[in-house]
Amino acid sequence: MDKKTISADGTSIAYERTGEGPAVILVSGAMSTGGTVAPLAVPLSDRFSVVVYDRRGRGESGDRPPYAVEREVEDLAALIEAVGGEAALCGVSSGGALVLEAAASGLPVRQVAVYEVPFAVYEGGAEERAEYTERLTEALEQGRRGDAVELFLRLTGMAEQMIQGARHSPMWPGMERIAPSLAYDDAVMGDGLVPRDRLASITVPVLAVAGGASPAWMREAARAIAETVPEGTYRSLEGQTHMVEPAVLAPVLEEFFGA
């Protein structure tokens, strides 16, 4: 990251900006940094000025306790100010919940796109999220970062054999380093349900996208977002999963942000 801006609480937020045109800020989800969404910035930078950044508590950005979702909204406000005072936002996974909250908070946002925000619309989903929150909080309070990462990977549906394989992989130390930020994404997701009252207050166009090869509840969650916001559109991308291909998602975002 070659640039930095300072959030309202004094936290340094690292970011990169590529391309020319209207500003678009990409927001990553859990266990990720700005580098995770950087491949999506490449095709978008042909038409837009695209910003990727490290959310607080990860990568090259700083952090300052105590955490609150409002601090991450302030981080986005600082980024928007740094890139001209207005931007479109695109959030992936739990990063989508953050950009929806930013829009509901009244930030100067012209459009919002989200990809597969994992709101629980399936039976037992709220209870599953509550149990995850309890166990995650306990693991992090006790310094068991590896256990916290395992909890998250199980929540995503990863098979136990793959989780144990990841634990013994070279990437594991890096995952443990940013494990405390799992609590941030958990807070951003609230109780895990679609925040209908907050979404209903969003006054800008919202595009909710899901993969056609993802679980049906992911598509249902995206459709619920689109149906709840006043100006919502739903799209399903054939053959795509939660690990969406940038080359498939980018044209959809270009059409939406260019409208």
Q: What does the DSSP 8-state code read for residue 151?
A: H
Check if the beta carbon of residue 190 is closer than 8 Å to that of residue 197. no
Question: CA-to-CA distance for 49 and 29, rounded, in angstroms?
Answer: 21
Predicted TM-score (pTM) of this structure: 0.95
Backbone angles phi, psi at 208, to 5 degrees: -110, 120
Per-residue pLDDT of 83-100, as tens digits, reads 999 999 999 999 999 999
* Cβ atoms < 10 Å from Cβ of 169: 11
Q: What is the mean pLDDT of residues 106-134?
A: 92
Question: CA-to-CA distance for 91 and 221, rounded, in angstroms?
Answer: 14
Domains with residue ranges and CATH for the chain: 3-119+194-257 (3.40.50.1820), 125-186 (no CATH)
The percentage of the chain sitting over the pLDDT mark of 70, rounded to a whole number, equals: 100
Backbone angles phi, psi at 169, to 5 degrees: -95, 160
Question: CA-to-CA distance for 67 and 55, rounded, in angstroms?
Answer: 12
> Comparing C-alpha atoms, which of 140, 175, 155, 196 is closest to residue 33?
175
Per-residue pLDDT of 2-56, as tens digits, reads 899 999 999 999 999 999 999 999 999 999 999 999 999 999 999 999 999 999 9
Position 124 scores a pLDDT of 82
- pLDDT band for 126, please (50, 70, 90 cuts): confident
Q: Taking 90 as the threshold, does the pLDDT of residue 123 lie above it?
A: no
Say whether 88 sits in a helix, a strand or coil: strand
Q: Taking 90 as the threshold, does the pLDDT of residue 181 lie above it?
A: yes
Q: What is the mean pLDDT of residues 124-152?
A: 94
Q: What is the torsional sign of CA 193, 196, 199, 201?
A: negative
Per-residue pLDDT of 183-229, as tens digits, reads 999 999 999 999 999 999 999 999 999 999 999 999 999 999 999 99
